[in-house]
Amino acid sequence: MTPSATILAAAAAEKTVTDGQGRRLTLRRMTALDRLRLFKAAGPVLAQNDRWLGMAMLAVSVTAIDDVPVPQPASEQQIEALVVRLGDAGIAAVAAALDPAPPPRAPETVANAGN
C-alpha cells in the first residue's frame, strides 16, 4: 500500500462505541472535506462559534446509530436534530472515543517524576 493510500485508509477507518443508553455509535474522524461541508451547513455566524461548532463536529462524526446509517447533515437544523438525537450520552461517548484519555502511568514513573 502506498503512503497516500495508507493515510486515506486511516482517515476513513470507522470505530464503534456504546453510549450510556446502550446505543452502538459508528463514527469516524472528519476529513477536510467533511469540515468544509460542516462550515457551509452551519453558515457564516455559527461557523465562528467555537462551542457550537465543537459539538456539531462531534455529532457529524457519527455515521451510524445501531447500524442504521446517519446521513451527513446539510443544514443547521439537521445538525441540531442530530445533536438532539444523540443527546448528552451520545455526544459524551463520541468525545471520549475521538479524544481518549492518556494511558495511566506506572506507579514507579509517577514516584520518580519529581526526581
Cβ atoms of residues 79 and 59 within 8 Å: yes
| Backbone angles phi and psi of 14, in degrees to 5 | -105, 155
Please write down the HEC assignment for all residues of the chain.
CCHHHHHHHHHHCCEEEECCCCCEEEECCCCHHHHHHHHHHHHHHHCCCHHHHHHHHHHHCEEEECCEECCCCCCHHHHHHHHHHHHHHHHHHHHHHHCCCCCCCCHHHHHHCCC
Q: What digits encode the pLDDT tens for the residues 58-80?
A: 999 999 999 999 999 999 999 99
The CA-based diameter of the chain, rounded to the nearest angstrom, is 55
Would you state the pLDDT for residue 108?
Answer: 65
pTM to 2 decimals? Answer: 0.76
pLDDT of 104 strictly over 80: no
- pLDDT class of 3 with cuts at 50, 70, 90: confident
Enumerate residues 6+ apart whose C-beta is below 8 A from 12. Answer: 28
| Backbone angles phi and psi of 111, in degrees to 5 | -65, -35
- pLDDT class of 109 with cuts at 50, 70, 90: low
**What's the rounded mean pLDDT across residues 1-18?**
77
| Backbone angles phi and psi of 78, in degrees to 5 | -70, -35
